[in-house]
Amino acid sequence: MAKDTIASPGRISRLIDFLGRTMIAAGLLLLSFVAYQLWGTGIAEGRSQNVMATQFVQPQPVQPKLGGLVGRITIPSIGVSKYVVAGVRIKDLERGPGLFPGSPMPGQKGNVAIAGHRTTFGAPFSRIDELRSNEKIILESKSGTFTYKVDGQPKIVSATDVAVAQTIDSNTATLTLISCYPKWTSRQRIIVVATLDVTELPLPATPIATSGPIVQKPADGWFHDPTAWPSVLFFGFALIAIRIIAAIMARRGRRKISVYLIAGGVFIPTLYLFFGALTRLLPANL
């Protein structure tokens, strides 16, 4: 009985120490994930933008398929210059602003609807809330360069209001920019509507090519991607395994510095892949 009484404070101390270390590790992991969201995703988007910049000066089909290059969007007043991809799937928007399936190409009649992130993956539409009437939005494609002028103030709509991405008047050439509102949430959408400069004649509409029927519903690139779960679990268990193996090697008399340097060299890239997969489970911060 006396031994148990003496040992209890030791067990409590070890438990507190374990909980403390766990909370510190969790805090560092959370901070790392925030850093990945703010900067790591931008690195991935930057690489994709560089690839599309190379493609833009090469021969391209006038009507791209999903995932293909559409052209470039420039908004001088808020410092935007990004290449646009065809599609608004999560993997499309990770590369840059995306043109909705079924939308006409830049300069054509109908509603050119483009979605983009506000906080991650380069945050191309971070400042679209600052756009005001008559400010210019320039779209470049293989068909030419087209200037649109903003109509009024940005508007806030429901997250499920997909009508903003559809063509209402097939005889008018309009542009709608779509992103999330407020920042860091997917609760609502902010939209900016613009009209093709009246001095330019709109081209006939030919919607971007798709591999199947055009479907526009809130789940297409607007919320999380449940198919990412296998990757999250795989890389998560891989991180745990790396930590356990490193601890075992260190306890067996291996040089701790060497063990943890090697483990860190494997752990950090795996953590990057884990964060990438985990990001797909979060609501899409457009």
More confident residue, 19 or 168: 168
Give the count of beta carbons closer than 10 Å to the beta carbon of residue 179.
Answer: 25
Q: Which of 46, 159, 163, 193 is nearest to 100 (CA)?
A: 163
| CB-based contacts of 64, cutoff 8 Å, min separation 6 | 70, 86, 208, 209
Q: Which of 240, 279, 281 is nearest to 263 (CA)?
A: 240
Q: What is the pLDDT of residue 50?
A: 96
- The whole-angstrom separation of Cα 173 and Cα 153 is 19
Tokens found for residue 16? 């507190």
Unique residue bearing structure tokens 């109908």: 110
Tokens found for residue 108? 């054509």
Q: Which of 123, 124, 175, 133 is nearest to 154 (CA)?
A: 133
Q: What is the mean pLDDT of residues 113-118?
A: 94
Contact between 115 and 284 (Cβ < 8 Å): no
| Position 162 confidence tier, pLDDT thresholds 50, 70, 90 | confident
Helix axes 256-279, 2-35, angle to 10 degrees: 60
| Position 213 confidence tier, pLDDT thresholds 50, 70, 90 | very low
Flag whether pLDDT at 39 surpasses 50: yes
Q: Which of 97, 100, 101, 131 is nearest to 116 (CA)?
A: 97
- The whole-angstrom separation of Cα 286 and Cα 281 is 14
Q: What is the pLDDT of residue 224?
A: 61
Q: What is the mean pLDDT of residues 10-22?
A: 80
Q: What is the mean pLDDT of residues 164-177?
A: 94
DSSP E strands: which ranges in the chain?
Answer: 69-75, 80-86, 98-99, 110-115, 136-141, 144-150, 155-158, 173-181, 188-196
Q: What is the pLDDT of residue 216?
A: 41
Flag whether pLDDT at 220 surpasses 80: no
User: In this predicted model, what pLDDT tens digit does every residue of 49-105 receive, in sequence order?
Assistant: 999 999 999 887 778 889 999 999 999 999 999 999 999 988 899 999 999 999 999
Give the count of beta carbons closer than 10 Å to the beta carbon of residue 286.
Answer: 28
Q: What is the pLDDT of residue 212?
A: 41
Model pTM? Answer: 0.79
Flag whether pLDDT at 211 surpasses 80: no
The mean predicted confidence, pLDDT, of the chain is: 86
| CB-based contacts of 62, cutoff 8 Å, min separation 6 | 105, 141, 142, 143
